[in-house]
Amino acid sequence: MNTDVMDSRPTYGGLRLDPRAKSHLVVVDGDGAPAVLDAFAGAEDELNRTTILCAHEDVAAGGLERLCALRAARLQLSGSSEDLLTEFERVLDGADMSVRIYVAGRESFIGKVVASAALRGVVPDSVVAERRGGVSRRVQCVHCKHIDEGVTASPYRCSGCGQHLLVRDHFSRRLAAFQGVRIDAEIPGEVPPAMELAS
Amino acid sequence: MSGGVEIAVVVAEIEQAARNVKRFRFAAKDGGSLPHFAAGSHVVVLMRDGERTIRNAYSLIDRAEDGSSYRIGVLRTPNSRGGSKFMHERVSVGDELRITMPVNLFPLFHPGRKHLLIAGGIGVTPIYAMADELQRRGALYEIHYAVRDEAHGAFIDEMRARHGDRLKLYRRDLEEILAVDQILPGQPLGTHLYVCGPEGMIEAVLEGGLEAGWPKEHLHAERFQTPPTGEPFALRLAKAGLTCEVRGDQSMLEALEEAGFDPPSLCRGGACGQCAVDVLEADGELIHNDHYLSAAERASGEKIMLCVSRLKGRELVLDL
Ligand SMILES: Cc1cc2nc3c(=O)[nH]c(=O)nc-3n(C[C@H](O)[C@H](O)[C@H](O)COP(=O)(O)OP(=O)(O)OC[C@H]3O[C@@H](n4cnc5c(N)ncnc54)[C@H](O)[C@@H]3O)c2cc1C
Ligand code: FES
């Protein structure tokens, strides 16, 4: 069955070009550029119908030049990650079903891209995703519902309510976010040292 | 068990819905209300034909507003081995039948921005329910329905009355062709396609979808598959210590049921995965007819679906 209603962690199969798509819409952040190069370099015919969206500040050093050198039909640079998502949504609103959506970069960024496509009726699994760069998650505090972006360690301090939260492996597809649960509920103030998140 | 709980129903109404399609209304025998179901669901109807029980899946068309009844539509299949013929010739108003709880292997993807419903012939039954549900929800949808001619197409008038020009009819007698390459281009992102009809049509529509550049995750299909026939073979259940013969006109599932064994099953059409079993030994070639196992799983020869697949050989030993 293809309609999985259970919350499950997305798997990132890697950016594989789908030659049957009529056009390709690629969104990149962080260390995502090399993944795009791996998938698209040399695919001249495909690049002629490819749009790449990325944010200046967010693409790791050297990545931008190499993305430019790909010579995709269109390369759109946004000023910030925020603007990039707005631009992505604008493109989606005018898109038809023959486009394939690709996203490469940090996990939390992938989550946001998939979530905004899903809001437009796109099945999350049809978005071709590759995670690059360190693990950084979008986490929702189960207590105050605040969402922190780019959480890289657990426990972390919720910037909504200030509590120390353990990042649980439970992923909500609807929110494209992991869950953060208060870690010192038993003995307030007893917070173990933060550890970097592993994939 | 075939899906667990069975419900006793009484045939409350039978209509001739098209030249070779009858529509049956089933009311709960105890007069209570029947379970809610989401559009796209089917039930298995159990028909007692003398010593044997015929079990066929039928899509649910609708549920009465007060929950008191369900309706199904049954095509009289030309070379029927039993079920549809039984429904057409032997079932009358007032008769008692048993059905299983509704199961949905063909659900609507509700976050979709638009829905294209494509039906061919009797494949209209789940599409009928889906169109009603989409209309109730105020969703955007189109119905494309291919029929041989008006006399053979079930429910045309009522669908036309209900869905107006959202229903596009294709009549083969007028040489009107349902061509996906005309329907699919330009459909907005977030559109979902659902197809139910003859196998050849389903394959053509799915292929047309991929050809139009759609991702496979947006192409949904339901096949009214019947167990293909083949050569007889012996079946041995290693754990149960049971051996039986699977006749050429029978599926393994049917043979086991006949032998009093009750393996899990839901759709009986190779789609749901419920009846998958581990193969221990196969003295011959496995003929996979399902749409569930991946190519790699088939190649490994480790699993087989009881409801539609068979052995071309002497004996198959299963981990049951
Ligand atoms: C999910 C799903 C939904 C479906 N929805 C619909 C629908 O809405 N409308 C519709 O018309 N059809 C529907 N079908 C198809 C339907 O289930 C039947 O396959 C169809 O009616 C043809 O059945 P039949 O019995 O006439 O023919 P056959 O397929 O030839 O016979 C099927 C049944 O006959 C019995 N049988 C035959 N011969 C023997 C024998 N010698 N010994 C023992 N048992 C025997 C078996 O129990 C077997 O299951 C659906 C199928 C599926 C999988
Ligand atoms: S019963 Fe559904 S695949 Fe066999």
Segment B51-94, tens digit of pLDDT: 889 999 999 999 999 999 999 999 999 877 789 999 999 999 99
Q: Check residues B306 and A132 and name the one with the higher pLDDT.
A: B306
- Among the residues of chain A, which ranges form H helices? 33-40, 44-47, 63-69, 81-93, 107-118
Average pLDDT over residues A183-189: 85
pLDDT given for residue B1 in this prediction: 43
Q: Does A8 map to a domain?
A: no
Quick check: B181 contacting A, CB < 8 Å?
no
**Nearest 5°: CA angle at B218, between B214 and B222?**
120
- Residue B31 C-beta-side C-alpha neighbours within 13 Å: 0
Give me chain A's average pLDDT, please: 88
CB contact under 8 A, A96 and B111: no
Rounded alpha-carbon distances, angstroms, from residue B200 to A85, B7, B116, B210: 42, 34, 19, 16
**Using a CB-CB distance cutoff of 8 angstroms, which residues of chain A are in contact with residue B219?**
none
Determine the distance from the C-alpha atom of residue B112 to the mean position of all C-alpha atoms in its chain, rounded to a whole number: 23
Q: Is-contact B198 B118, C-beta < 8 A?
A: no
Residues A158 and A106 in one domain: no
Query: Which ligand is nearest to the Cα of residue B50, counting in written order?
Result: 1
Rounded to the nearest 10 degrees, how much is the dihedral formed by the CA atoms of A27, A198, A66, A96?
-20
CA B311/CA B299 separation, integer angstroms: 14
Q: Taking 60 as the threshold, does the pLDDT of residue A70 lie above it?
A: yes
Distance CA B158, CA B161 (A): 5
Residue at B59: amino acid letter:
S
Does B37 reach chain A within 8 Å, measured CB to CB?
no
Q: Tell whether A117 and A53 lie within a shared domain.
A: yes
A55: helix, coil or strand? strand
pLDDT band at residue A107 using 50, 70 and 90 as cut-offs: confident
Q: Could you tell me which residues are beta bridge partners of residue A1?
A: none
Look up the domain containing A81 and give its range. 23-131
Helix/strand/coil for B144: strand
- Please, are residues B120 and B34 in contact by the beta-carbon 8 Å criterion? no
- What's the CA gap between B304 and B16, in Å, rounded? 39
Residue A4 domain flag: no
Among residues A111, A131, A151, which one ends one of the domains?
A131
**Cα of B203 from ligand 1 centre, angstroms:** 21
- Residue A74 falls inside a structural domain: yes
Q: What is the pLDDT of residue A4?
A: 33
Interface test with B, best of A1, A89, A90, A97 (most B CBs within 10 A): A97
How many angstroms is it from A3 CA to the middle of ligand 2? Answer: 17
Q: Is the pLDDT of residue A2 over 60?
A: no
Answer yes or no: is pLDDT of A114 > 90: yes
Q: Report the pLDDT averaged over residues A116-137.
A: 90
In this predicted model, which residue has the larger pLDDT, A188 or A73?
A73
The number of beta carbons lying within 10 Å of the beta carbon of residue B237 is 20
What is the least distance, in Å, from the CA of B215 to any CA of chain A? 6
The answer as to whether A6 is a domain residue is no
Alpha carbons B103 and B88: distance in angstroms, whole number:
24
Question: What pLDDT shows up at residue A8?
Answer: 53
Calculate the CA dihedral of residues B165, B170, B175, B177 and round it to 10 degrees. Answer: 110
In a domain, residue A13? The reply is no
- Quote the tokens at residue A192: 């173990």
Examine the pLDDT at A147 and tell me if it is beyond 70: yes
**Amino acid of residue B196:** C
- Give, in words, the CATH class of B233-318: alpha beta
- Superfamily for the B6-104 domain: Translation factors (2.40.30.10)
Taking the C-alpha atoms of residue A125 and residue A122, their distance in angstroms, rounded to an integer, is 9
Gap from CA of B265 to ligand 2 centroid (Å): 5
Return the residue matching tokens 């307030």.
Answer: A188
Rounded to 5 degrees, what angle do the CA atoms B237, B243, B244 make? Answer: 115
Least confident of A96-100, A127-131, A136-140: A136-140
User: For ligand 1, is residue B56 a contact (CB within 6 Å)?
Assistant: yes
Residue that finishes a domain, picked among A81, A116, A131: A131
Domain termination residue (choose one: A77, A98, A131) = A131
Structure token pair of residue A68: 């430019």
Count of structural domains within chain A: 2
- The alpha carbons of chain A give a radius of gyration, in whole angstroms, of 18
Q: Give the CATH number of domain B114-222; options: 3.10.50.30, 1.10.10.60, 3.30.830.10, 3.40.50.80.
A: 3.40.50.80
pTM score: 0.87
Residues of A in contact with B180 (CB under 8 A): none
Whether residue A118 sits in one domain with residue A73: yes
| Cα(A144)–Cα(A131) distance, integer angstroms | 28
Residues A27 and A112 occupy one common structural domain: yes
Mean pLDDT of the residues in chain B:
95
Is A59 a residue whose pLDDT tops 80? no
For chain B, residues classed under CATH 2.40.30.10 are 6-104
Distance of CA A89 to the CA centre of its chain: 14
Instruction: Give the pLDDT confidence score for residue A135 in this predicted structure.
Output: 78
Q: Is residue A15 part of a domain?
A: no
How would you write the pLDDT of chain B (320 residues) with one tens digit per residue?
A: 444 689 999 999 999 999 999 999 999 999 999 999 999 999 999 999 988 899 999 999 999 999 999 999 999 998 777 899 999 999 999 999 999 999 999 999 999 999 999 999 999 999 999 999 999 999 999 999 999 999 999 999 999 999 999 999 999 999 999 999 999 999 999 999 999 999 999 999 999 999 999 999 999 999 998 888 899 999 999 999 999 999 998 999 999 999 999 899 999 999 999 999 999 999 999 999 999 999 999 999 999 999 999 999 999 999 99
Mutate to test the interface with A, among B189, B211, B293 (most CBs of A within 10 A): B189
What mean pLDDT is predicted for residues A135-142? 88
Confidence of residue A132 (pLDDT cuts 50, 70, 90): confident
- Residue in chain B closest to A20 (alpha carbons) equals B213
